[in-house]
Chain A
Amino acid sequence: MVIDKENNGAGGDGTPIEFRLDGSSGVPTYLQLVQQVEHALRLGYLKPGDQLPKVRDVVAGLAINPNTVLKAYKELETKGLAAGRPGQGTFVTAALGQVALPELAGLRRNLHRWLASAEEAGLDEDGIVALFTSVLRDHFRRDGRDNRGAGAGDGSEGVA
């Protein structure tokens, strides 16, 4: 039996990734696209020089607004991860910087210590998550790195 391969979706020719959307995540659509590209960069699906799916193909595959895709790609350009080439599309320009392994191990140890003290104070797992999420949000908002505020394009750029 031959299974029909879906090759007309949000991927298309010449790109190694295919976008998908999680409707229940509450994460804005453009941000999901950005995160999926970043994820693919971290996991090595995407390398510098690779082409991102064409705006039109993403739009046709996911039935989303082209301005959303343009906004996601603009965000990736702002982050220095991709660049548009006129008449060709958007291409990956940089690998995503990873934190070195020894540093990561140190951060893990710190977090474990903090979790132990939180438990001692009487917080259960859900309580810890609620507190952590709240502090995380506060922290990044103070730094002006609130994702929703950043790079809010006006969507007025034309469609290539």
Chain B
Amino acid sequence: MNVIETLGLGKRYRDTWALRDCTLSIPEGHMAALVGPNGAGKSTLVNILAGLAVPTTGTVAVLGGRPAGSPAALDGIAYMAQDAPVYKNLSAADMVHITGNLNRLFDEPYAKRRLAELDIPPGKKAGRLSGGQQAQLALTLALARRPRLLILDEPLAALDPLARRDFLATVMVAMADDGVSVLLSSHALAELERVADYLVVLRGGEPRVAGQADDLLTGHRVLTGPAAEADAIAARASVVQDKRAASGFASRSASGSASQAHLLVRVGADDPVPPGWEAHPVTLEELALAYLRAPADPNPQDQLHPERIEASR
């Protein structure tokens, strides 16, 4: 089952396309990181998935074909918006009770136990809790709904390192215990490297790359070798990022030594390393940064659907 399935999704605000040509199919059981700079369209996509915004073009289905925003979709999706909005003048216990009364499925004992574990005083007004506690309260309310898909929009931005870790640990345990799928948007990837096993990179409103972390990591390499041969390599492989020493366009630098090039390329599992070149594995962060910096790909469909290329071989 795909928890998220979009086809040609687009959203226009007046004259600006906040999201366009967004085609994704994210299978269940993953923690998908949705990364991109501010204004890349992350919140727009997340709002559409949560049923808060209506797309201008394209189709969107969640949880195996339920229309986003439909009652069936809302029953199975818990959404925690940016800045963890809670009613500031209501107590944590009130928030639990209110959420319980607005959902057909709600695990109130779990919510109460977790608040106790987190040392969040049930009677204290939510507005007086620390940023970390508010985030944990919002997360507790979301998890107590026992969702199939948990959508978190920039949940870590306002948290200190310890609170981030606790927050992520809670999400990861919910994945282990309940099999909940997670979509987490963030503009900082470094801390997601350990938790995300699916990556969607969004830039300028368009997905640049999307796929399971393992597939992306095995499907990409950094090739390091003489800059003089870089063009020949680039002609045969699909280069995501091309870094050459400043003198790279002359075959020899002033001192006569060969200048170096690093090419981040997409490779098949059995592609040989060109003679004289060294291949290094990439990290998820490196990969995401490369796609965020890369010029628009002439053939983005290949990147988005590596399986399609496999199938056509």
Contacts and interface: CB of A to CB of B under 8 A. Distances in A.
Interface in B72-110: none
A156 B212 CA distance: 11
Given A134-B278, A141-B273, A159 B169 contact: no
A155 interface: yes
Which of B165, B173, B214: most chain A Cβ within 10 A?
B214
Nearest to A152: B214
Given A26-B283, A59-B175, A156-B27, A149 B218 contact: yes
Interface stretch (B53-61, B131-139, B190-198): B190-198
A66 B177 CA distance: 9
Which of A67, A141, A153: most chain B Cβ within 10 A?
A67
Contacts of B179: 158-159
Contacts of A29: 194
Contact of A158 (B29, B168, B214): B29
B45 to A, nearest CB: 21
Contacts of B175: 59, 65-67, 159
A111 interface: no
B195 A63 contact: yes
B64 interface: no
Given A67-B197, A134-B278, A155-B197, A56 B177 contact: yes
Given A65-B172, A66-B175, A153 B214 contact: yes
Nearest to A71: B214
A68 B169 contact: no
A136 B208 CA distance: 34
B3 to A, nearest CB: 13
Which of A61, A64, A66: most chain B Cβ within 10 A?
A66
12 contacts: A23-B194, A26-B283, A59-B173, A65-B194, A65-B195, A67-B29, A71-B214, A155-B29, A155-B30, A155-B214, A156-B27, A159-B29
Given A137-B279, A148-B218, 18 more contacts: A26-B283, A56-B177, A59-B175, A60-B172, A60-B176, A63-B166, A64-B195, A66-B176, A67-B30, A68-B194, A71-B214, A134-B278, A141-B273, A149-B269, A152-B215, A155-B212, A155-B214, A159-B177
